[in-house]
Amino acid sequence: MSPTSPIRAVLALLLAAAPAGPTRAQVSEPVSEQLPTQAQARRQAPALAVPPAPEPPPIQSDEARLLPVLASRGMVSSQDALATRVGVEILRKGGNAVDAAVAVGFALAVTLPRAGNLGGGGFMMVHRAAAEDRVADTIAIDYRETAPAASTADMFLNPQGEPDRAASTRSGKAVGVPGTVRGLAEAHRRYGSGKFTLAELIAPAERLARDGIPVESGLADSLPRAAGLLGQWPSSRAVFFEGGHVLPRGATLRQTDLADTLKAIAERGPDAFYEGPIAQKIAAAVQGAGGIMTAADLAAYRPEIRTPVRGRYRGYEIVSMPPPSSGGVHLIEILNILEGYDLAGMGAGSAGALHMLAEAMKPAYADRATWLGDPARTKVPVAGLTAKAYAATLREKIDPERAKTAAEVSAGNPLPHESDQTTHFSVVDAEGNAVSNTYTLNFSYGIGLVAEGTGVLLNNEMDDFSAKTGARNAYGLVGGEANAVAPGARPLSSMTPTFVFRDGKLFLVTGSPGGSRIITTVLQVIVNVLDFRMNLAQAVAAPRIHHQWQPDVLMAEEGISPDTLALLRAKGHNVKVGATSGSANSVMAEDGLLAGASDPRQRGTLAEGP
């Protein structure tokens, strides 16, 4: 390890935050003897004096090429118009943001089956505005899938000891214990307005499943791509196929079993899903596909209420998802680094600004590979990673002219293929309560298996664990011991549902799908608004870049000028222009008005107010 290695700098700052104890597998030296403490590092690299928060872009300006939707009594922004309208209707009837979000969550399981789900998991950030009887607060609901009790650290290694990608993505072993149903029910129970029963919030989803929905927009786009995955399983063919082919554009998708499952949950609560016949059918389907999940695993599943991670960026407060998501921690880490640069002066989309973004992303993803995992099993040094002083040491290593190379790049690593496999929605109500929710089956349609007789598509979230230290998952993310498979553990996630506050008032609700690119997508929405003063529609639509340290590739969406790309290449970046990144369905609040922007990268998205 060279004296200037990024890992050394990481360790220096993390020591103070991490408890004394055995060092991680990747760390070969007794670091405590060689590295400065966090306090020493702070003296060496003073945090920046941050100028006053910049004024946000005017919400009502009509002088832009793209304009957000405006409303004053609430806003829902999701990846599917039918689901957005379900949420808007709940707001119209007097529901709060959580009521609407729960209804949207159940509706997306029907209308966006590639990512909306009952058989997956996710994270919901809830902001409750101050009211007569309480001060404002923000809560994180973790309804991430868990590893079945019979899971073992080496369950995704082949006999040669190498990662078995098919096992972790396409077999029953890939399925984590689903968290969505208990997660949404818990959100309703704790933070709903009390004006709606869970059954009333599930009813629109049940109706859409039973009456059927048109195969159009995003559904028509995604079904043909998933034909191979879904077609392997007779139970999935029964739902999504007709005459040997996936349902074509213009057909009607009816999901009767799913409607019955929703009805059972509406009548008997989440236990109807986690215990009894539905749970038994899910366990049987997983075991039939070679998996190890049991009905007891389902019965044991519980969501966790967590304290969000907090940071500040140019005077705004960033509040986001804590571990087992890596999202909030690294979003704040990257923003902390960027705070030292005059991005606005460099200009949106300039090679200078994009270079700084890329260079700030790399150390964060290197940290992710070493330090992040399920907080129930590993001490994640959140405070160290999100410290301004730590960012200052990382910033010192950034060269404004030259791209840093990743030390351990193995040549020819394929880029992870982007498709839209997770989904994010944002909801704000008239009182200023808000929900930022990202949930997923991991891959598009998960493992493609509908549990016979339930209509429930099953996730392949177990691939988010590291099959072994240093191995990459499907998104090319390197994982460490902290993210090893273990019974009951939650796999590390990148999902980053986020709020931004200005002077304590809700300002922005955002998040995105995109696998490893989620963190950098959310980052760029925030930077586009706060540094480049774009309105929300522009901030969401602007072309994005992504660098995740390994593989050493700067991914760029189309729409960045060839001149800029040439300048980035001249700085040493290995630029690849390719697939789109994310679907950041967002809401911004200002001066009593709400701006909504759904992401134009997908067909059929919608932001709408009541």
Say whether residue 495 binds ligand DON (CB under 6 A): yes
Q: At what angle do helices 97-111 and 256-268 cross, to 10 degrees?
A: 150
Give 84 or 494: the residue with its C-beta nearer to ligand DON: 494
Stretch of 98-106, 162-170, 426-434, 491-499 contacting ligand DON, by CB under 6 A: 491-499
Calpha distance 352→571 (Å, rounded): 10
Calpha distance 490→325 (Å, rounded): 9
Which residue from 95, 515, 543, 551 is in contact with ligand DON, where contact means CB under 6 A?
A: 515
End-to-end CA distance of the chain: 57
Per DSSP bridges, beta strands 554-557 and 575-578 are parallel
In the numeric block, the tokens 């539905």 are attached to 278
Say whether residue 598 binds ligand DON (CB under 6 A): no
Give 333 or 461: the residue with its C-beta nearer to ligand DON: 461
Say whether residue 548 binds ligand DON (CB under 6 A): no
Give 56 or 120: the residue with its C-beta nearer to ligand DON: 120
> Which three-class secondary structure string do you get for 486-511?
CCCCCCCECCCCEEEEECCEEEEEEC
Please name the residues in contact with 571: beta carbons below 8 A apart, sequence gap of 6 or more. Answer: 351, 355, 401, 402, 403
**What is the dihedral angle through the alpha carbons of 143, 146, 149, 152, rounded to the nearest 10 degrees?**
-170
Stretch of 3-11, 376-384, 396-404, 488-496 contacting ligand DON, by CB under 6 A: 488-496
Calpha distance 154→216 (Å, rounded): 42
What secondary structure does DSSP assign to 571-590, as a single string? TT--EEEES------EEEEE
Which residue from 99, 145, 206, 464 is in contact with ligand DON, where contact means CB under 6 A?
A: 464
Say whether residue 514 binds ligand DON (CB under 6 A): yes
Say whether residue 422 binds ligand DON (CB under 6 A): yes
Give 264 or 364: the residue with its C-beta nearer to ligand DON: 364
Instruction: Report the helix count and the strand count for the chain, using DSSP H and E.
Output: 23, 23
Kindly state the number of chain residues that form the binding site for ligand DON, as judged by CB under 6 A: 14
Which residue from 421, 510, 524, 564 is in contact with ligand DON, where contact means CB under 6 A?
A: 421
What are 409-415's contacts with CB under 8 Å, separation 24+?
409/550, 409/551, 409/552, 410/551, 413/472, 413/476, 413/550, 413/551, 414/476, 415/476, 415/551, 415/553, 415/555, 415/576, 415/578
Calpha distance 568→405 (Å, rounded): 13
Which residue from 95, 172, 513, 604 is in contact with ligand DON, where contact means CB under 6 A?
A: 513
Give 303 or 513: the residue with its C-beta nearer to ligand DON: 513
Cβ contact 267:124 at 8 Å: no
Assigned token pair, 241: 């196929």
Give 297 or 461: the residue with its C-beta nearer to ligand DON: 461
Calpha distance 391→396 (Å, rounded): 9
Give 142 or 257: the residue with its C-beta nearer to ligand DON: 142
Give 420 or 429: the residue with its C-beta nearer to ligand DON: 420
| Least separation in angstroms between CB 211 and ligand DON | 28
Specify whether 378 is catalytic: no
Stretch of 124-132, 212-220, 419-427, 520-528 contacting ligand DON, by CB under 6 A: 419-427
Please name the residues in contact with 244: beta carbons below 8 A apart, sequence gap of 6 or more. Answer: none
| Least separation in angstroms between CB 416 and ligand DON | 9
Say whether residue 393 binds ligand DON (CB under 6 A): no
Cβ contact 198:266 at 8 Å: yes
From the list 146, 180, 422, 510, the catalytic residue is 422
What residues between 428 and 447 interact with ligand DON by CB under 6 A? 440, 442
Which residue from 84, 117, 483, 493 is in contact with ligand DON, where contact means CB under 6 A?
A: 493
Residues making up the chain, counted from first to last? 610
Stretch of 32-40, 145-153, 415-423, 595-603 contacting ligand DON, by CB under 6 A: 415-423
Say whether residue 145 binds ligand DON (CB under 6 A): no
| Least separation in angstroms between CB 493 and ligand DON | 3
- The catalytic site residues sit at 422
Instruction: List residues binding ligand DON (CB under 6 A).
Output: 420-422, 440, 442, 461, 464, 493-495, 513-515, 518
